[in-house]
Chain A
């Protein structure tokens, strides 16, 4: 297995909770086996902020809720041969996308921000302002699943996906043996 040339992978967390990245660590001791197959390029796990070279696989956690997410996702698509959406947020927007369903008013984004920072029942915001630092990326009108912004090659479901399905999928993709998931492994929660 280890004689193959090593593949390069990259990961990113967009509008997610970082739980899917934690789940990658749930591979446990098999990480050692996996690391024989791959080098990790741009990723919060390596703290590399830019691509050092083209990657074979990009793994995306989270959907797109702001412009920076879109920018990063575009970057991944341009620099990776295969793009994987990891977890429900990347696949269908997940919890952040709950705002899509409650935003049917005429000024949805404004109402959403007001409720989140000013009028919400449990808000303790003494400034009574919506944060607006110039460094903050602009929010999108709604939360988009990754597949609406770029082409996605594979999705690994779960919230977060279990270590088993992540390991199983990655190792089979890397060896060219991926034919779909074992039904018993599929989970949306």
Chain B
């Protein structure tokens, strides 16, 4: 997004015509999802996959089938990045445009795709074969640059591999062929790990070490709900997605609300740039995740659960579907689980469609309900009135895994790991300028220095802890500890060496938030655009010294008046770098001379007119006769 202008710069001008036979096909798609408006995201994903776009006539058909108005369907279809109202290519190539990808050769890789396919980023080829676009972090920062080719993920791209892949695709082979010529015969787990390395660099005792099957669930069925809540509370477990709410209390709240139904939702929408820890759990510990959900369901009395998987992780869909199916077969999901009469619980997989905001609990619930991913008004909180208005527990992937392990090994065992106030281990996803990027399961309480030694990032000049919504620190803060009370993080740690331009990083992160703001509330929708533009002024050397105060002031308004966590943290890249790297800003400002703004550039302002008039300025050009 270059600016806040509404013309989105879409270059597609071709009309997406659906053959008349499609009316029945769209009706059939809707029918497979029960013509249920709450399954709108599934319906739209299917229509998108089949027709490469959601055309106006498709909007009408879907509205008819689900009993909504066309504008309501359009509202959903136009919200998610992976859905499109204009045609995309049969093969959709999404290059991951994270700052880490930019620093590992994205530009060169992009050029290769553009050259081989003959289209620019943002375009679809005239024959409808390919579309090429950028997408924010797809959770592969430890193996950047990465790309999604339809449902296939490519990692560690180089100019050579990119050229090979692009040519192979152009020759008519399928994206799956890029992974293996016997792709069809691979298991889902083999497929996933061929595409993406786990990069587990250090396995801790809780999650990535040996985990006995169903040990937590077996304990849980012998416990009362209150005993389960107490165990989780006493363990000190706090939410691992970033916000850090006490998990036991959340469960207890949901259980204490009087309701006919309750829900358990697993938040596998990790979208914070630089975060990829859940990717590894989803790949290697799917049974443990669902076990944790089942325990939560047992404790709060839920019979339905949803695993919300971010659209970028679509390559893990069949692996997870297989895990769910296996549990149903083994009597670990479905009716009378483990033979206990009335212990009924099943989980459906809900795939997202490209929206960071859906990691926010309320937005995630909206998305599960088939709505645009907009956060909900609080109160009521999800534990009181969540999915479809019923009490709902939403926890992160890692949190559910921890819960299952706590019930197996006991609250005390977990509590004794880590520090006071930050108990247990944490998965850290570490990337950027270091020798060993990947996943580290470590107890809370390590200093940043200790982490950097471990990952081979000792020459770091800046570390982004917790992703863009977290904190950017300089070397003088590397003694600080990774705990909830000092440097809190949902897991992301991004290392930058001294060659990186801090303002470039900040501008990138602001453009990310501008792209991902849902637009519901004024400060986040508009304020972040202003912040991004202000940072651009700094980068161009067009800022006044007063603009530093302006950045702080505007950030303050956005944080204080925004409706959800996105706006409450989106100015953090600006604020934390202003605090920890003040010289970066001060060095590029220009004071006004005699009250005249040096930042207004008369030469560039008259350049267009000079060319049209074919003469020079008699005021501002010294030799205007030329």
Contact = CB atoms under 8 A, between A and B. Distances in A.
Interface of A: 66-68, 70-71, 74, 77-78, 83, 104, 108-110, 113, 130, 132, 134, 136-142, 144, 148-151
Given A138-B606, A139-B609, A67 B619 contact: yes
Contacts of B609: 66, 109, 138-141
A89 to B, nearest CB: 17
Given A148-B597, A151-B595, A132 B613 contact: yes
B613 A77 contact: no
Interface string B601-615: 010111111101111
Contacts of A150: 595-597
Contacts of B612: 109-110, 113, 130
Contacts of A130: 612
B150 interface: no
Contacts of A68: 619
A138 B613 contact: yes
Contacts of A109: 608-609, 612
B595 A141 contact: no
11 contacts: A67-B602, A67-B605, A74-B596, A77-B596, A113-B612, A130-B612, A138-B610, A139-B606, A139-B609, A140-B609, A144-B605
Contacts of B610: 138
A164 B515 CA distance: 46
Nearest to A147: B597
Main SS class of interface, B: loop
B542 to A, nearest CB: 11
Contacts of A108: 608
A40 to B, nearest CB: 22
Given A77-B595, A110-B612, A71 B5 contact: no
Contacts of B617: 67, 137-138
Contacts of A138: 606, 609-610, 613, 615, 617
Nearest to A144: B600
A144 B602 CA distance: 11
A23 to B, nearest CB: 25
Interface string B360-373: 00000000000000
Nearest to A152: B595
Contacts of B619: 67-68, 71, 137
A48 B549 CA distance: 40
B7 interface: yes
A74 B5 CA distance: 30
B160 interface: no
A170 B604 CA distance: 36
A150 B594 CA distance: 9
A70 B608 contact: no
Nearest to B546: A151
Given A68-B619, A71-B620, A109-B609, 14 more contacts: A70-B602, A77-B594, A77-B596, A83-B595, A109-B608, A109-B612, A113-B612, A134-B618, A138-B613, A138-B615, A144-B605, A148-B600, A149-B597, A150-B595
Contact of A104 (B7, B596, B602, B604): B7
B437 to A, nearest CB: 41
A141 B604 contact: yes
Contacts of B597: 148-151
Contacts of A67: 602, 605-606, 617, 619-620
Nearest to A73: B596
B549 to A, nearest CB: 15
Given A67-B606, A139-B609, A134 B596 contact: no
Q: Which 7 A-B pairs have the closest CB atoms?
A: A138-B609, A151-B595, A140-B605, A139-B609, A109-B608, A138-B606, A77-B595
Interface in B24-56: none
B592 interface: yes
Contacts of B605: 67, 70, 140-142, 144
Contact of B608 (A71, A83, A141): A141
Contacts of B606: 67, 138-141
Chain A CB within 10 A, most for which of B605, B610, B614? B605
Nearest to B544: A151
A138 B613 CA distance: 8
Contacts of A140: 605-606, 609
Nearest to A108: B608
Contacts of A151: 592, 595-597
A104 B5 contact: yes
Interface in B9-36: none
A116 to B, nearest CB: 12
A158 to B, nearest CB: 24
A139 B592 CA distance: 24
Contacts of B592: 151
A132 B613 CA distance: 6
A96 to B, nearest CB: 14
Nearest to B624: A134
Nearest to A114: B612
B609 to A, nearest CB: 4
Contacts of B7: 104
B514 to A, nearest CB: 18
A176 to B, nearest CB: 20
A78 B594 contact: yes
